[in-house]
Amino acid sequence: MSSSRESILAAVRANRPPATALPPVADFGGEASVERFTEWLHFIGGQVVRLAPDQPLEDAVQQLFPKAVRIASNLLPATVPVNGQTTTEVLEAVDLAVLQGELGVAENGAVWVPEANMLHRALPMITQHLALVLDHRHIVATMHHAYAAVQHTGAYGVFIAGPSKTADIEQSLVIGAHGARSLVVLLR
Amino acid sequence: MNHPQRAAVFTSDAERTTWHDETLWFVRQKRDKAVYAIPEFQQLRQLASDIKEHTLSRLDEYLEQFERNAQANGVQVHWAADAAEHNRIVLGIMRGVGATSLVKSKSMLTEECHLNPFLVQNGIAVVDTDLGERIVQLREEAPSHLVLPAIHLKKEDVGETFHLHLGTPKGEKDPQALTEAARLHLREKFLVGQVAITGVNFAIAETGAVVVCTNEGNADLGVNLAQVHIACMGLEKLIPRTADLGVFTRLLARSATGQPVTTYTSHFAKPAPGRQIHIVIVDNGRTRQLGRPDFRASLKCIRCGACMNTCPVYRRSGGHSYDFTVPGPIGAILSPNIDLHQHSSLPFASTLCGSCTDVCPVKIDIHTQLYKWRQLIAQANELPAAKKWGMKLLSSVLARPGVYRFGGKVAREGLRLLPHGLTHATAFNPWAKARELPEAPKQSFREWFEQQSSIPTGQA
């Protein structure tokens, strides 16, 4: 195995093109507005709900997901406790996960969710529905600003942009492929 | 069979060919809409190209930096010189943890290495979890597109396949219902998958993280429920910095499908407690391509598929006509590096219109490389006899004005006098397969011009 390592690196050294400079980190400005974020998230099949300053999260969740029974969350009283050791069987039965999003991206509706906010790495995808709570002041214009703000992507982290989807059958868009069937961003 | 022969099989169904053509053109139009909405898009393409160029120029250093950082993250890094070694490494990891089942998200590299048949032969149950890939896997076909693996199929075909394998009602062809059936079927597989394989869209040298982009969420679901994650990557997937992802994530989905970004952009660096991540770095001809100054830019490719969506030949001949893991224009410049003889017809599957080059998000000069491969293929004596002698004949005619003039006269007279069945016999004249030749003019341009110059001017 190590011999392949050496031979590959030797071949790269022998064959690499003349040195060129690494361009400086890009930044193109752009509009970091709630309106733009909302527009794009709707475009990709998600939903934005603005919470009143004093509105309890539980009330909003209850209104939006009246049928959700098995709820996993560290932001409101949960009905299913989830942590890193939770078994697949328990995870699989979760109706709704309510998690904290760190950062929204106005140009595409994506929300940064680091591992620390997930309770279990599989939860944001295995849950039937996903709600992400986001501070409206934490919306940036583009992916350049998003990576600048995130700095290090950590042990595991995901930009989630809308619900899981596919168009693999005749290019017909179907929402709810393998991951969450719906995505709501609750803006504070 | 060569590309024209396989394409003939595809185009024998005219209705389906038209549908395929229009569907991919629609994806190209969605790409345009997304691209025009970003004023700095052309600057982003240049940046992406420059970042990749720089990375290739110091690739050995970035590979070592990546390996160091990945190992510090608790990841096991493996190196594979070729497909066979890659496959052995994957099997070795699976045997090491006593696993017999595998869930796999999209990875063109494992297609390139023919990993699935190898694992199946060795008693491993392999389930492709991307919907399109699952469809073609059940049908025992290869993907026909980089990002739309089942684009050659109609919903009726998928309905039939699912009826056979997943027990959906006969005649069910609603994409919503079929996708729901696949969701339920694949969830069962996710829940019991012991090992998950993913491809890699980007590998970040400064953090040792790998980034995987999907719309379905199948990569994350598979990886985060399995004990072991194996990420398989070609060594050209490296980029230096996390910040460079800002450039590439803005380009990838817009170029591929016209989406502003993929649904999931997932960054895997450290295994969860008690679990494992393995990264397999594969050469399989890439260092050889790196050593070809005319062709090394093909290693910048981020596998978005924009070049195939726009290609007039791909759209009308289908992905399977290329008979190579990566079809379309990019496949036609990657494949001769792997096997010049076997893939010698692919660089000719192009009109050299340059549309592929225009849409490429990392500015690969695809059509120039197609042209250059043609020269090498001719030098290697790999042209079909008809093309080789046809070209020789044509160049000798074009080099002799007298012969050219005589030939023109013969053709004009011949077209007028010979029977249609002869001038349009497809055995000699492939042009006439779906076309009429124009009516032969009475005189050549030269004759007409000489006539004009003999008329006195200035009198009008």
Beta-carbon neighbour count of residue A183 at 10 Å?
A: 26
Helix A143-150 vs helix B244-256: crossing angle, to nearest 10: 140
The domain total for chain A is: 1
Outline where B58-141 has alpha helix (H): 59-72, 83-96, 108-112, 115-121, 131-138
Q: Can you say whether residue B354 is alpha, beta or left, with left for phi > 0 and alpha for psi between -120 and 50 degrees?
A: left
Is the Cβ–Cβ distance between B232 and B212 less than 8 Å?
no
The residue-averaged pLDDT of A19-36 equals 94
The CATH code of the domain that includes A67 is: 3.40.50.10420
What residue in A sits closest to B239 (Cα-Cα)?
A22
What residue in B sits closest to A29 (Cα-Cα)?
B40
Is the Cβ–Cβ distance between B384 and B390 less than 8 Å?
no
Give B147's contacts in chain A (Cβ within 8 Å).
none
Q: Tokens standing for A100?
A: 């904290």
pLDDT above 60: residue A19: yes
- Considering only CB atoms, A28 lies closest to which of B26, B40, B50, namely B40
**Chain pair A-B, CB pairs under 8 angstroms:** 265
Outline where A45-121 has alpha helix (H): 57-64, 88-92
- Considering only CB atoms, B216 lies closest to which of A16, A109, A166, namely A166
The residue-averaged pLDDT of A109-129 equals 97
Do you know the residue count of chain A?
188
How far is B160 from chain A, CA to nearest CA, in Å?
Answer: 13
Provide CB contacts within 8 A for B38, sequence distance 6+.
Answer: A107, B44, B250, B254
ipTM of the complex: 0.97
Tell whether A40 is covered by a domain. yes
pLDDT above 80: residue A39: yes
Give B130's contacts in chain A (Cβ within 8 Å).
168
Tell whether A153 is covered by a domain. yes
Question: CATH for B3-288?
Answer: 3.40.50.10420
Tell whether A128 is covered by a domain. yes
Q: Tokens standing for B22?
A: 């229009």
d(Cα B245, Cα B241) in Å, to the nearest integer?
7
Is the Cβ–Cβ distance between B157 and B171 less than 8 Å?
no
Tell whether A21 is covered by a domain. no
- The backbone torsions φ and ψ at residue A112, rounded to the nearest 5 degrees and listed phi first, read -80, 125
Cβ pair B261:A179 closer than 8 A = no
Beta-carbon neighbour count of residue B39 at 10 Å?
A: 10
Show the low-confidence residues of chain B (pLDDT under 50): 460
User: Residue A186: beta bridge partners?
Assistant: A49, A133
Domain that holds residue A63: 32-187
Q: How does the average pLDDT of chain A come out, rounded? A: 95
Is the Cβ–Cβ distance between B66 and B205 less than 8 Å?
yes
d(Cα A177, Cα A10) in Å, to the nearest integer?
43
> For residue B248, with 0-12 CB atoms within 10 Å meaning exposed, 13-18 middle and 19 or more buried, which class applies?
buried
> For residue A157, with 0-12 CB atoms within 10 Å meaning exposed, 13-18 middle and 19 or more buried, which class applies?
buried
- In this predicted structure, what is the pLDDT of residue A2? 63
- For residue B146, the 8-state DSSP code is S
- Considering only CB atoms, A155 lies closest to which of B27, B59, B269, namely B269
d(Cα A1, Cα A7) in Å, to the nearest integer?
10
- The residue type at B438: P
Closest by CA to B273, choosing from A101, A115, A93, A80, is: A115
Contacts by residues B90-95 (CB-CB < 8 Å, ≥ 24 positions apart): B90/B115, B90/B119, B90/B197, B90/B230, B90/B232, B90/B280, B91/B118, B91/B119, B91/B122, B91/B124, B93/B195, B93/B228, B93/B230, B93/B278, B94/B119, B94/B124, B94/B195, B94/B228
d(Cα A178, Cα B194) in Å, to the nearest integer?
18
Closest by CA to A183, choosing from A45, A82, A25, is: A45
Distances (CA, A) of B440 to B253, B411, B430: 49, 8, 18
Cβ pair A110:B265 closer than 8 A = yes
Ranges of CATH 3.40.50.10420 domains, chain B: 3-288
- In this predicted structure, what is the pLDDT of residue A1? 47
Give B179's contacts in chain A (Cβ within 8 Å).
166, 168-169, 174, 176-177
How far is B177 from chain A, CA to nearest CA, in Å?
Answer: 9
d(Cα B276, Cα B270) in Å, to the nearest integer?
9
Instruction: Name the one residue in this structure whose structure tokens are 């005589």.
Output: B406
How far is B221 from chain A, CA to nearest CA, in Å?
Answer: 6
d(Cα A150, Cα B207) in Å, to the nearest integer?
13
